[in-house]
Amino acid sequence: MKQKERCKIIRQERIGTDIYSLWLQTGAIAQAAQPGQFVMLYGTDRSRLLPRPISICQTDGAALRLVYRVAGEGTREFSYLELGHELEVLGPLGNGFPIQEAKGKQVLLLGGGIGIPPMLETAAALGNQATAVLGYRNELFLKEEFEAFCPVSVATEDGSSGVKGNVLDAVREGNLSADMLFACGPLPMLRAVKAYAQEMQIPCWISMEERMACGIGACLGCVCDSTQEDAHLHVHRKRVCKDGPVFLSTEVKL
Amino acid sequence: MISDICMGVELAGVTFKNPVMVASGTFGSGEEYGEYVDLNRLGAVVTKGVANVPWSGNPTPRIAETCGGMLNAIGLQNPGVEVLCQRDLPFLKQYDTRVIVNVCGRTKEDYCQVVERLAGEAVDMLEINVSCPNVKEGGIAFGQDARALEEITRAVKKYAAQPIILKLSPNVANIGEMARAAEAGGADAISLINTLTGMKIDIHKRAFALANKTGGLSGPAVKPVAVRMVYEASHACTLPVIGMGGIQNAEDAIEFLLAGASAVSVGTANFHNPCVTEEIIKGIEDYLKQYEIQDIQSLIGAVES
């Protein structure tokens, strides 16, 4: 039977305003993890019942790296935890990006804001097949780490680094082309990326975010709208936690 | 130290290996949790509410966390009874556990149609959901008026091949009256509580946390209300009661048994720990051993007044 794993914190640091990088000691989860999957992280304050879904940023065999943003009290609690403290983790969960399908193809990795972290493991898996385009408000994080794996373009909303604008502005300005798009970021960005992919007729995979309770497909809390009737649910919805979080952009309505 | 304790309970002529079930809607069809829980260990699997046709449910956000609990407004999304019969029931049949199907509908006819469809299926009991606070038609409309409750119970009972459990809403002034109405209509058992209608507002966005505005509150925050209502309902009628509402561990489950429940359902706690049901069963066994109680049935309603 699968179960939650208790994982020791081996490193935690603040890498941006409200952005934290957390390394957890876990052989099983790290080895099973695929780029684009996520884990459920359980807090210790029993007044907060629900685990937080956090995307997997990096693995190194015996450890798992999660880069998350403090968005409320639950994630704030994680940010206070010190070395040696143990956290309960369930995962890896969800489907991840289609790395096999990308074999021999050039892939643009489009990450916006806190959608950037899952793209790092994806960049590591694709290596020189990938070009990363990272969109920030103004403050950069993880950029140098992407550069270890693939070429990187940057866009910032205020123009303080790279291209002024969003990830698609950087794609256009850099004349970046690819056979496939992998994207993760805020909903307006995903909408724009989906439209761009349609215009360019490139297959596009997007990673969605939604509030979750169970994380394993049972509660139907985290559904998104789908263009076709889902084969399992028999309605025009898909479960972000179980059928996703990564979907072909044409499968989902944004 | 006693060696052989008896965990078995009986409701309306159906025997259960232990009193621990899962609450409808928190456990899918059982299949989703099959990787985390040995379903053979459970007293029963209670499936997510199913209607005569597929329902799409409510828009997202559907869930919001609150202090010691959560709000949900899924809106009874389900694939329809035909899919349940062809996919989910055959899956559950592989396991040595009881199967209770939760039935929802918009009209009396919807409920009757589902119940009739399930007549020849491998289902041990039917739980009639007249208490969902998140759908506009049906659901709670039947569960907040004693006369409507009695009427739908009587209508459904006519078509039911299996014993029926009426799942009651806590959003009523007098739970005892509702328990008696279910009994008068011919129910074989009652289960309670469904969720309490609640609301959360995001002060930064100045917007409702849920797309549906209101949702059902569950989790440990509701447990004292649930224990009180189980106590009152079990004293108001002669029907066996399945108690639920915020059960997180064996101690909580035992509290419900002492209050008068013959069995318990675990819901929201599955989200905090997908393996929690097995831990609760083990914890109840340990309690029986600790207090040298041979038969769990001697705990039912055993709170001293």
Which pLDDT tens digit goes with each residue over A93-122? 999 999 999 999 999 999 999 999 999 999
Token digits of residue A17: 């305003």
Q: What angle do CA B33, A212, A52 make, to 5 degrees?
A: 100
Q: How far apart are CA B184 and CA B176, in angstroms?
A: 12
Whether residue A178 contacts residue A202, with contact meaning beta carbons closer than 8 Å, is answered with yes
| pLDDT at residue number A250 | 97
Chain A contacts of B219, Cβ < 8 Å? 49
- Within 8 A of B245 by CB-CB distance, chain A residues are none
Domain check: are A105 and A182 in the same one? yes
Residue of A nearest to B28 (CA): A218
* Side chain identity, residue B3: S
| A220 to B77: CB separation less than 8 angstroms, yes or no | yes
Provide the number of structural domains found in chain A.
Answer: 3
| A49 CB within 8 Å of a chain B CB | yes
Contact A216 B69 (CB under 8 A): no
CATH homologous superfamily of domain B9-51+80-197+217-299? Aldolase class I (3.20.20.70)
Query: How close A59 comes to chain B (CA, Å)?
Result: 24
Does the pLDDT of residue A152 top 70, yes or no? yes
Q: Select from A47, A74, A211 the Cβ nearest to the Cβ of B61.
A: A211
> Rounded to a whole number, what is the distance in Å from the CA of B274 to chain A's nearest CA?
7
Contact A218 B26 (CB under 8 A): yes
**Which of A2, A223, A232 comes nearest B60 by C-beta?**
A223
CATH number at A179 reads 3.40.50.80
pLDDT for residue A72:
93
**A198 and A103 housed in the same domain:** yes
Q: Supply the pLDDT for residue B137.
A: 66
Sign of CA dihedral B68, A55, A210, B34: negative
**Residue A112 and residue A181 share a domain:** yes
**pLDDT per residue over B54-85, tens digit each?**
999 999 999 999 999 999 999 999 999 999 99
Among candidates A51, A210, A217 on the partner chain, residue whose Cβ is nearest the Cβ of B60: A210
- Tokens representing A60? 């190194």
Searching chain B, which residue's CA lies closest to the CA of residue A89? B273
Q: Say whether B70 and A214 touch across the interface (CB within 8 A).
A: no
Q: Is B57 within 8 Å of A218 when comparing Cβ atoms?
A: no
A222 and B38 in contact by Cβ < 8 A? no
Give me the pLDDT at residue B2, please: 64
Q: Which residue of B has its CA nearest to A47?
A: B68
**Which portions of chain B are predicted below pLDDT 70?**
1-3, 136-139
Last residue of a domain, one of A51, A73, A93: A93
Same domain assignment for residues A75 and A106: no
* pLDDT for residue B305: 79
Residue A170 lies in domain = 97-202
CA B23 to chain centre: 4
Tens-place pLDDT, residues A26-76: 989 999 999 999 999 999 998 999 999 999 999 998 999 999 999 999 999
Residues A88 and A107 in one domain: no
For the cut 70, the answer to whether the pLDDT of residue A202 exceeds it is yes
Among the partner residues B36, B55, B268, nearest to A1 by beta-carbon distance:
B36
Chain-chain contact of B32 with A218 (C-beta, under 8 angstroms): yes
Percent of chain B whose predicted confidence (pLDDT) is above 70: 98
Q: Are B62 and A223 in contact (CB under 8 A)?
A: yes
Residues A134 and A167 sit within 8 Å (Cβ to Cβ): yes
Q: What is the pLDDT of residue B209?
A: 98
pLDDT in tens, B118-175: 999 999 999 999 987 777 666 677 889 999 999 999 999 999 999 999 999 999 999 9
ipTM for the predicted complex comes to 0.94
Task: State which of A52, A73, A93 marks the end of a domain.
Answer: A93
**Interface list for A 69-108 with B (CB within 8 A):** 74, 90
Does A196 share its domain with A110?
yes
Q: If 0-12 CB within 10 Å is exposed, 13-18 middle and 19+ buried, where does residue B15 land?
A: exposed
Domain termination site, one of A202, A218, A241: A202
Q: Nearest residue of A to residue B276 by CA position?
A: A3
Burial (Cβ within 10 Å: 0-12, 13-18, ≥19) of residue A48: buried
- Sequence ranges of the domains in chain B: 9-51+80-197+217-299
Domain identity same for A119 and A185: yes
Whether residue A252 sits in one domain with residue A238:
yes
Q: Do A1 and B63 touch (CB under 8 A)?
A: no
Which amino acid, one-letter code, is at A95?
N
Contacts of A215 in chain B (CB under 8 A): 271
Mean pLDDT, all residues of chain A: 96
SS3 A143: helix
Of B79, B219, B275, the CB nearest to A3: B275
B72 vs A217: CB contact, 8 Å cut-off?
Answer: no
